[in-house]
């Protein structure tokens, strides 16, 4: 009894249940993805699934297309979001706090509902669904994730740095490119990661926005993984996605801003 | 066009912020080429705003600013031939020392060799040679400061603006940097405008000091002028320590305070006009008086001259070292209340019989309880015009219910005060300084406000109370308040005087 | 002499006063102008949305795939001839094959329910129907919709744009907006004119002051416009749903008059049974998951906080994995785990999955509170004779409470919001949460109408929670 008390009073041990839980439900499942990717349906080791992927032109094409769409979407979000974040972070701008909140609010509404609403809006305006609608919908869904981190870094930035640049002879344009942009890069990285990762792995949005005419990699994985005899192949596709994710998060590694946690 | 001796001219500049407050209220200032001018004042006095208007980060609401005779009021900062050293340095964290310093030169598209040469020279001037490749956040505060200076002077500005550049440094570092700045000013020969709240810094560094408060320039002058001849109570109180007393200018070179007449050297204040008198603590001579004799001394019945004759004879025996000047000086007496050793001198508080308290600094120690005599030389008495007299003046309006509305509240007044006045009529309200009561709890007063400025006048405090509606009330009181105390304001109805307003 | 001095002081005072009021006035002017400006923008933006009156056909695809015209709005079109072509294509995901489009042309005379168009084409499975509507040989409508044979929602509406006849019908809405726009413009112009007139009375110095103030603001007009436009686009779909929650039409975008029927349906349980159970499950899962996550996460945060730097780093990394992982990866990996363990998927697995991705956020919101806490209070409690449990309850919880609460709320919203993880872990037992319900609903080609009021309510709740948290945070900052 005493021993139990001693263990409990050392607060370090209080994290053990959580660590155990995470090992079981986070680490183990991720390992399983790898295991399934290297086994066949009967559980024997095989690399045939990978061979299949590299000869499966549809999968590769879908994969490349998905990455392309994600890159496009990230770029559009950056192009639209950066100016918005910049304007809001301006010191002399009047109502930044409320504005920033308004931009972040849609993030908290079910993204499927927002997507359906977008589809309905397109229908109502008589616009065709397709690639354009897909890009619009993705951008619409993920724009807040781009604006928020950029806004955060810009707002924390010391305004006297901009003044110093102007004082040294930089006009607004020069001080923007030589001081503000380099200093806001951490926010930009984190925004890129936060937009790119969900876009590249998205599966439901594309279906709804294009009436299933365009298939993204996420939907492909979904199709295979839910089909019992193709589960192992689905695991291979998931592994490919996982690698992309790992690479991307490595890219955005140099910032520690909590993602959604910091948004309220 | 004749040669303009002024490099910077600030003409009647106002700066109003969105909340309606004035950061600058009719500020005018001329700076000669090569001068070292310090703008001195407490925080929030508008000194930084003035600097930022000159640098171009803020546009004055009205008035104009001229650089070399050219109107630059609305010119953006990057087109002005001035450079700034910022309060917290504002070094670019993404660039190393060299690129920080070269920033301005690169914008001017100078060729790399020249840039290298100039940067090296500037870093040498700032004693930072050898740090070119360092990241700025690995530097200490003093080093960052030097880089900031190098970054500003490398552009060869005609005016260097320094916004409290030493405030983030520790004391020792600050002293070293003060000397370096002074040397730098001599070497470069350009105009320095230096903003600080540290009076010692201002007095040691500058050719001229501009004292500011509440958005207004209080006094401009050389450090000695500012110290020895403060023009108003604020300057006297802010710079160094001083005894400030209410007095009356009897005639030219004759002033009365503490119930005695003194000779002085100031003229032009008219006859029998109320004035403020400033005496620096180190200018008062002090000596010990035998208590027996001082008790014998008839206090009030004798004339001033007889008094003087008697005390003159006392000096000679009580001041064997012969420190006190001989001559026909008015003397007065009191008892030492406290005595503190301040390193070089002793600081004593002496209370006179009439209840006036004096702060005195002397090399000699006089223990509490000692009866002492005091005198001051006429040239050490500084006379200042009183800014406000015995009354607060307000604009008011008579209301139907027999009350009068002023400073944002309705006040009861004696009926005879508003006799013959129609409701709605505009009137002038007078309230004597000493008739305003201050309450500890804001709820107890009709108005609430904050103690804004305190002046000790020897035997009472003269307070400025800023009400929440933004009106200033002057109050004389014997009670001790602290700066920023919240108070309730009560004005007894028999103390409110109403005058018909005559246009 | 005293008099003259006094009057000088007075005149100075009044001068300062008038300046003060001038600036306040200017500020008010700017605010008013901004409101009018936004109003005009909104009118411009919303007018085209409402200006179209829809010509709507309600058709029914029967159990055998037969198409029947049920109704047509508005009735004033009765007698008009419209050609409708229906293209169908079988669409099976697995086969990856698309059948050739078959054209089904028919002429539709708008006279209410029309006979003679039953049994046009029989579908066998999920299908995609393309409507092409001509009038006078010109294509005026081209719309693709998904149909499921035998589904309850096969009654769907196809609506046409008001290119048919604008003036006759819903023109009044257009007029209202045009009127509003006109009023706004007149107000704006009038206000500018009025304030300029007023300015003429000011002294030259004050005019110059105003001019300089305005110079600073004009720079922002472009930026403001950009932000407001962006917000409008961002909120257009949301606003669309919220607006159409107050009409009972089945299809979004078809305004059939103000009605609270959908709200009534939602609260009296008259909505679709699937929706009701989805709401129920969503609430249960969110509460269970958030509660578990809060308990687990708080304990974990206390543990992590007291760890040595190195192990803390490792656990923090572990903690961040579910946050970095996209939904689909978390979902699939858990799906594989449950398959490997042979667990039957249902409510339990969904709850576990939700705890997985919610807990890290709870840990992150509790940790900062811990670092703000005096580290010795817990030891002090033990020293005074408390057991660890008592020390936790009596000393630590009161301090951690706000962090836990915000973690709990965060977990709730994340759980309600989740689609990806739920989708892969819900199994095939018919368990649906709101997200998955919306998904399957949308795939069928329409949105259950009761989702609109539900969505509006969620929006309002979110707004309230966000505002509450923001106010609380800013109050804390002040302290």
Q: Which of B7, B442, B29 is nearest to B210 (CA)?
A: B29
Question: Do the domains at B6-228 and B281-382 have one common CATH topology?
Answer: no
What would you measure as the largest C-alpha separation in chain A, in angstroms?
Answer: 74
Cα dihedral sign, A248-A249-A254-A256? positive
Q: Which residue has the higher pLDDT, B163 or B2?
A: B163
Q: Do residue A143 and residue C234 have CB atoms under 8 angstroms apart?
A: yes
Nearest CA in chain C to B21: C20
Chain A residues with CB inside 8 Å of B88's CB? 158, 160
Task: Assess whether C285 and C414 both reside in one domain.
Answer: yes
Q: Do residue A116 and residue C318 have CB atoms under 8 angstroms apart?
A: no
Q: Do residue A164 and residue B90 have CB atoms under 8 angstroms apart?
A: yes
CB of A146 closer than 8 Å to CB of A81: yes
For an interface test with C, the pick among B15, B16, B387 (most C C-beta atoms closer than 10 Å) comes out as: B16
Residue B343 is predicted with a pLDDT of 82
Which domain covers residue C46, as residue numbers? 20-50+170-227
Residue A38 to residue A50: CA distance in whole angstroms? 8
Query: What is the DSSP code string of A56-119?
Result: -HHHHHHHHHHHHHHHHHHHHHHHHHHHHHHHHH-TT-S-HHHHHHHHHGGGGS-HHHHHHHHH
Q: Which residues, including other chains, have CB under 8 Å from residue C440's CB and lie 6 or more apart?
A: C432
C25 within some domain: yes
Chains that touch B (3 or more CB pairs under 8 A): A, C
Last residue within a domain, chosen from C107, C138, C160: C160
Task: Assess whether C184 and C132 both reside in one domain.
Answer: no
Shortest CA gap B13–chain C (Å): 11
| Chain C contact present for B503, CB below 8 A | no
| Chain C contact present for B327, CB below 8 A | no
Q: Do residue C234 and residue A103 have CB atoms under 8 angstroms apart?
A: yes
Is the model's pLDDT at B70 over the cut of 70? yes
A51 within some domain: no
Confidence of residue B388 (pLDDT cuts 50, 70, 90): low
Task: Assess whether C156 and C290 both reside in one domain.
Answer: no
Q: Which residues, including other chains, have CB under 8 Å from residue C332's CB and lie 6 or more apart?
A: A33, A221, A225, A234, A235, A238, C424
Nearest CA in chain C to A14: C303
Q: Do residue A13 and residue C435 have CB atoms under 8 angstroms apart?
A: no
Report residue B53 CA to chain centroid gap: 21
Chain B residues with CB inside 8 Å of A182's CB? 94
Chain A residues with CB inside 8 Å of C352's CB? 25
pLDDT digits (tens, 9 = 90+) for A5-40: 555 556 777 888 888 999 999 899 989 888 888 888
Q: Which residues, including other chains, have CB under 8 Å from residue C11's CB and lie 6 or more apart?
A: none
Q: Do residue A163 and residue B84 have CB atoms under 8 angstroms apart?
A: yes
Written as six digits, the tokens of A211 are 């009436």
Task: Assess whether A125 and A220 both reside in one domain.
Answer: yes
Task: Assess whether C421 and C294 both reside in one domain.
Answer: yes
Beta-bridge partner residues of B183: none
Report how many domains make up chain C. 3
A79 within some domain: yes
| Chain C contact present for B479, CB below 8 A | no
Among A147-151, B140-144, B150-154, C19-23, where is mean pLDDT lowest?
Answer: C19-23
Residue C74 to residue B487: CA distance in whole angstroms? 72
Q: Do residue A165 and residue B108 have CB atoms under 8 angstroms apart?
A: no
Residue C31 is predicted with a pLDDT of 63
Written as six digits, the tokens of B439 are 């309450």
C106 within some domain: yes
Chain C residues with CB inside 8 Å of A112's CB? 419, 435, 438-439, 442
Residue B120 to residue B106: CA distance in whole angstroms? 14
Report how many domains make up chain A. 2
Chains that touch A (3 or more CB pairs under 8 A): B, C
CATH of the domain at C154: 2.60.40
Which domain covers residue A248, as residue numbers? 57-263
Last residue within a domain, chosen from C160, C185, C210: C160
Q: Which residue has the higher pLDDT, B473 or C479?
A: B473
Task: Assess whether C382 and C303 both reside in one domain.
Answer: yes
Nearest CA in chain A to C233: A140
Characterize the bridge pairing of strands B36-40 and B191-196. Answer: parallel
Residue B171's CB is within 10 A of a number of other CB atoms, namely 7
Residue B364 to residue B370: CA distance in whole angstroms? 13
Task: Assess whether C271 and C382 both reside in one domain.
Answer: yes
Residue C397's CB is within 10 A of a number of other CB atoms, namely 12
CATH assignment of B281-382? 2.40.50.100
Closest partner residue to C227 (CB to CB) among A84, A117, A198 is: A84
Closest partner residue to C24 (CB to CB) among B14, B20, B389 is: B20
Give the H/E segment covering residue C129.
strand C127-135
Shortest CA gap C36–chain B (Å): 21
Number of A/C CB contacts below 8 angstroms equals 259
Shortest CA gap C16–chain B (Å): 9
Task: Assess whether C272 and C309 both reside in one domain.
Answer: yes
Closest partner residue to A167 (CB to CB) among B77, B92, B94 is: B77
Which range of A28-32, A229-233, C85-89, C195-199 scores highest in mean pLDDT? It is A28-32
Extents of the domains making up chain B: 6-228, 246-279, 281-382, 391-500
Residue B192 is predicted with a pLDDT of 93
Confidence of residue C4 (pLDDT cuts 50, 70, 90): very low
Confidence of residue B72 (pLDDT cuts 50, 70, 90): confident
- Distances in whole angstroms, Cα of residue C268 to Cα of each of C258, C261, C435: 19, 10, 21
Is the model's pLDDT at C97 over the cut of 60? no
Task: Assess whether C97 and C76 both reside in one domain.
Answer: yes
Q: Which of C325, C333, C326, C324 is nearest to C352 (CA)?
A: C333
What would you measure as the largest C-alpha separation in chain B, in angstroms?
Answer: 87
- Whether the model clears a pTM of 0.90, i.e. scores above it, the answer is no
Residue B70 to residue B82: CA distance in whole angstroms? 13
Shortest CA gap C211–chain B (Å): 9
Beta-bridge partner residues of C86: C104, C131
Task: Assess whether A197 and A148 both reside in one domain.
Answer: yes
Task: Assess whether C357 and C425 both reside in one domain.
Answer: yes
Closest partner residue to B61 (CB to CB) among C1, C6, C209 is: C209
Nearest CA in chain B to A171: B78
For an interface test with A, the pick among B104, B151, B161 (most A C-beta atoms closer than 10 Å) comes out as: B104
Task: Assess whether C45 and C73 both reside in one domain.
Answer: no
CATH of B6-228, one of 3.40.50.300, 2.60.120.10, 3.40.50.10490, 3.30.300.30: 3.40.50.300
Find where tokens 């010109």 sit.
C138
CATH of the domain at C273: 1.10.3720.10
Task: Assess whether A32 and A70 both reside in one domain.
Answer: no
CB of C350 closer than 8 Å to CB of C285: yes
Residue B312 is predicted with a pLDDT of 47
Task: Assess whether C137 and C286 both reside in one domain.
Answer: no
Query: What is the DSSP code string of chain A?
Result: -HHHHHHHHSGGGGGHHHHHHHIIIIIHHHHHHHHHHTB-TTS-B-SHHHHHHHH-HHHHHHHHHHHHHHHHHHHHHHHHHHHHHHHHH-TT-S-HHHHHHHHHGGGGS-HHHHHHHHHHHHHHTTPPPSHHHHHHHHHHHHHHHHHHHHHHHHHHS-HHHHHHHHHTT--HHHHIIIIIHHHTHHHHHHHHHHHHHHHHT--HHHHHHHTTSS--HHHHHHHHHTSGGGHHHHHHHHHHHHHHHHHHHHHTTT----SGGGG-
Residue B163 to residue A160: CA distance in whole angstroms? 11
Q: Do residue C208 and residue B74 have CB atoms under 8 angstroms apart?
A: no
Task: Assess whether A127 and A83 both reside in one domain.
Answer: yes
Shortest CA gap B68–chain A (Å): 18
C233 within some domain: no
Q: Do residue A160 and residue B104 have CB atoms under 8 angstroms apart?
A: no
Task: Assess whether A156 and A226 both reside in one domain.
Answer: yes
Task: Assess whether A32 and A75 both reside in one domain.
Answer: no
A165 within some domain: yes
| Chain C contact present for A79, CB below 8 A | no
Residue C350 is predicted with a pLDDT of 92
Chain C residues with CB inside 8 Å of A90's CB? 220, 223
Chain C residues with CB inside 8 Å of B61's CB? 209, 212-213
Q: Do residue A11 and residue C365 have CB atoms under 8 angstroms apart?
A: no
Please, how many CA atoms are within 13 Å of residue B466, restricted to the half-sphere of its CB? 9
Nearest CA in chain A to C235: A106
Nearest CA in chain A to C242: A117
Q: Which residue has the higher pLDDT, B55 or A47?
A: B55
Shortest CA gap C19–chain A (Å): 21
Task: Assess whether A25 and A149 both reside in one domain.
Answer: no
Give the H/E segment covering residue B201.
helix B199-205
CATH of B391-500, one of 3.40.50.880, 3.40.50.620, 2.40.50.140, 1.10.3330.10: 2.40.50.140
pLDDT digits (tens, 9 = 90+) for A167-179: 888 888 888 898 9
- Provide the strand spans (E) within B225-380: 243-251, 254-257, 260-263, 273-279, 284-288, 331-341, 346-352, 357-362, 371-376
Radius of gyration (C-alpha) of chain B in whole angstroms: 28
Task: Assess whether C327 and C437 both reside in one domain.
Answer: yes
Is the model's pLDDT at B149 over the cut of 60? yes
Q: Do residue C19 and residue B22 have CB atoms under 8 angstroms apart?
A: yes
Chain C residues with CB inside 8 Å of B16's CB? 19-20, 23, 209
CB of B281 closer than 8 Å to CB of B359: yes
Task: Assess whether A221 and A143 both reside in one domain.
Answer: yes
Q: Do residue B16 and residue C19 have CB atoms under 8 angstroms apart?
A: yes
Is the model's pLDDT at C368 over the cut of 80? yes
A43 within some domain: no
pLDDT digits (tens, 9 = 90+) for A206-219: 888 887 777 888 88
Nearest CA in chain A to C330: A26
Residue B171 is predicted with a pLDDT of 84
């Amino acid at each position: 009894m005493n021993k139990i008390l001693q263990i409990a009073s050392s607060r370090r041990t209080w994290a053990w249940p959580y660590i155990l839980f995470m090992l079981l439900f986070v680490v183990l499942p991720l390992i399983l993805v790898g295991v399934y990717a290297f086994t066949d349906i009967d559980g024997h080791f095989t690399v045939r699934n990978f061979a299949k992927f590299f000869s499966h032109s549809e999968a590769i094409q879908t994969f490349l297309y998905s990455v392309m769409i994600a890159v496009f979407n990230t770029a559009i979000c950056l192009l639209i979001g950066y100016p918005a974040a910049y304007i809001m972070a301006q010191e002399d701008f009047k109502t930044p706090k409320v504005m920033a909140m308004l931009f972040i609010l849609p993030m908290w509404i079910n993204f499927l509902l927002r997507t359906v609403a977008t589809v309905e809006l397109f229908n109502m305006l008589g616009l065709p669904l397709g690639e354009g609608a897909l890009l619009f919908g993705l951008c619409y869904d993920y724009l807040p994730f781009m604006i928020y981190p950029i806004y955060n870094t810009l707002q924390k930035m010391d305004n006297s740095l901009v003044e110093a640049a102007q004082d040294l002879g930089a006009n607004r344009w020069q001080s923007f490119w030589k001081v503000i942009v380099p200093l806001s890069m951490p926010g930009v990285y984190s925004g890129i990661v936060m937009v790119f990762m969900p876009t590249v792995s998205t599966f439901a949005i594309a279906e709804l926005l294009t009436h299933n005419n365009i298939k993204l990699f996420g939907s492909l994985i979904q199709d295979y993984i839910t089909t019992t005899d193709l589960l192992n192949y689905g695991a291979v596709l998931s592994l490919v996605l996982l690698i992309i994710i790992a690479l991307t998060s490595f890219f955005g590694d140099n910032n520690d801003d909590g993602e959604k946690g910091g948004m309220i | 066009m004749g040669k303009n001796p002024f490099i910077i001219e600030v003409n009647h500049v106002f700066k109003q912020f969105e909340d309606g407050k004035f950061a600058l209220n009719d500020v005018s200032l001329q700076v000669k080429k090569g001068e070292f001018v310090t703008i001195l004042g407490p925080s929030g006095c508008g000194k930084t705003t003035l600097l930022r208007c000159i640098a171009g980060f803020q546009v004055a609401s009205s008035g104009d600013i001229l650089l070399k005779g050219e109107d630059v009021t609305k010119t953006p900062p990057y087109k002005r031939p001035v450079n700034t050293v910022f309060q917290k340095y504002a070094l670019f964290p993404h660039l190393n020392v060299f690129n920080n310093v070269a920033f301005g030169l690169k914008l001017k598209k100078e060729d790399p060799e020249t840039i290298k040469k100039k940067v090296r020279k500037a870093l040498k001037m700032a004693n930072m040679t050898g740090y070119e490749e360092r990241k700025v956040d690995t530097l200490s505060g003093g080093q960052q400061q030097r880089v900031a200076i190098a970054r500003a002077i490398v552009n060869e500005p005609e005016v260097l603006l320094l916004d409290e550049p030493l405030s983030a440094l520790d004391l020792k570092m600050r002293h070293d940097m003060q000397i370096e700045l002074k040397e730098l000013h001599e070497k470069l020969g350009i105009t320095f405008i230096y903003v600080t709240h540290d009076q010692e810094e201002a007095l040691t560094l500058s050719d001229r000091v501009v004292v500011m408060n509440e958005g207004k320039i209080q006094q401009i002058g050389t450090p000695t002028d500012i110290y020895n001849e403060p023009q108003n109570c604020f300057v006297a109180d802010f710079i160094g320590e001083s005894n400030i007393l209410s007095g009356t200018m009897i005639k030219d070179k004759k002033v009365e305070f503490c119930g005695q007449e003194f000779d002085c050297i100031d003229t032009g204040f008219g006859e029998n006009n109320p004035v403020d008198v400033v005496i620096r603590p180190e200018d008062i001579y002090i000596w010990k008086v035998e208590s027996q004799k001082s008790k014998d001394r008839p206090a009030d019945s004798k004339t001033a001259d007889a008094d003087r004759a008697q005390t003159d004879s006392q000096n000679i025996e009580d001041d064997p070292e012969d420190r006190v000047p001989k001559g026909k000086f008015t003397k007065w007496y009191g008892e030492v209340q406290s005595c503190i050793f301040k390193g070089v001198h002793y600081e004593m508080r002496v209370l006179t019989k009439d209840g006036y308290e004096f702060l005195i600094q002397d090399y000699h120690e006089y223990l509490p309880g000692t009866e002492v005599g005091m005198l001051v030389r006429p040239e050490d008495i500084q006379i200042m015009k009183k800014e406000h007299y015995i009354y607060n003046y307000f604009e008011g309006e008579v209301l139907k219910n027999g009350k009068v509305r002023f400073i944002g509240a309705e006040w009861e007044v004696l009926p005879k005060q508003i006799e013959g006045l129609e409701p709605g009529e505009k009137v002038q309200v007078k309230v004597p300084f000493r008739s305003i009561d201050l309450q500890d709890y804001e709820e107890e007063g009709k108005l609430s406000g904050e103690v804004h400025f305190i002046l000790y006048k020897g035997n009472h405090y003269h307070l400025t109370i800023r009400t929440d509606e933004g009106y200033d009330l002057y109050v004389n009181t014997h009670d001790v308040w602290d700066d920023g105390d919240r108070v309730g304001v009560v004005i007894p109805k028999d103390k409110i005087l109403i005058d018909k307003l005559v246009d | 002499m005293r008099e003259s001095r006094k009057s000088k002081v007075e005149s100075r005072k009044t001068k300062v006063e008038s300046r003060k009021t001038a600036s306040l006035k200017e500020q008010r002017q700017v605010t008013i102008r901004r409101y009018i400006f936004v109003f005009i923008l909104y009118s411009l933006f919303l007018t085209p949305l409402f200006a179209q009156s829809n010509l709507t056909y309600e058709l029914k695809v029967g159990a055998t795939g037969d198409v029947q015209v049920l109704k047509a709005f508005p009735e004033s079109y009765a007698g008009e001839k419209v050609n409708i072509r229906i293209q169908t294509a079988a669409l099976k995901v697995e086969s990856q094959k698309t059948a050739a489009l078959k054209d089904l042309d028919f002429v539709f005379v708008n006279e209410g329910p029309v006979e003679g168009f039953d049994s046009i084409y029989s579908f066998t499975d999920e299908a995609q129907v393309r409507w092409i509507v001509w009038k006078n040989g010109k294509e005026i409508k081209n719309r693709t919709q998904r149909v499921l044979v035998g589904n309850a929602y096969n009654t769907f509406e196809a609506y046409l744009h008001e290119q048919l006849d604008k003036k006759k019908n819903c023109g009044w809405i257009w007029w209202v907006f045009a009127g509003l726009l006109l009023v706004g413009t007149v107000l704006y112009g009038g206000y500018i004119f009025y304030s300029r007139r007023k300015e003429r009375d000011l002294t030259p110095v004050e005019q110059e002051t105003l001019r300089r103030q305005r110079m600073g603001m004009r720079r922002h007009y472009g930026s403001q416009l950009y932000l407001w436009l962006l917000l409008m686009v961002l909120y257009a779909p949301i606003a669309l749903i919220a607006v159409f929650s107050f009409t009972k039409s089945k299809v979004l975008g078809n305004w059939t008059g103000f009605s609270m029927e959908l709200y009534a349906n939602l609260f009296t349980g008259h909505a679709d049974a699937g929706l009701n159970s989805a709401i129920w499950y969503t609430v249960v899962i969110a509460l269970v998951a958030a509660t578990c996550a809060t308990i687990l996460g708080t304990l974990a945060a206390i543990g992590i906080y007291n760890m040595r730097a190195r192990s803390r780093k490792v656990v923090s990394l572990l903690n961040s994995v579910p946050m970095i992982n996209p939904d689909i990866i978390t979902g699939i990996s858990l799906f594989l785990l449950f398959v490997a363990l042979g667990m039957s998927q249902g409510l339990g697995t969904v709850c576990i999955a939700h705890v997985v991705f919610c807990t890290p956020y709870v840990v992150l919101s509790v940790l900062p509170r811990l670092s703000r806490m005096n580290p010795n209070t817990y030891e002090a409690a033990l020293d005074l004779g408390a057991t660890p449990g008592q020390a936790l309850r009596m000393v630590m919880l009161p301090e951690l409470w706000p962090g836990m609460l915000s973690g709990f709320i965060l977990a709730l919203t994340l759980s309600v919001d989740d689609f990806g993880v739920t989708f892969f872990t819900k199994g095939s037992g018919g368990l649906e949460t709101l997200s998955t319900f919306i998904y399957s609903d949308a795939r069928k080609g329409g949105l259950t109408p009761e989702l609109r009021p539900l969505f509006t309510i969620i929006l309002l709740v979110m707004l309230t929670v966000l505002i509450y948290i923001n106010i609380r945070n800013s109050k804390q900052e002040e302290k």
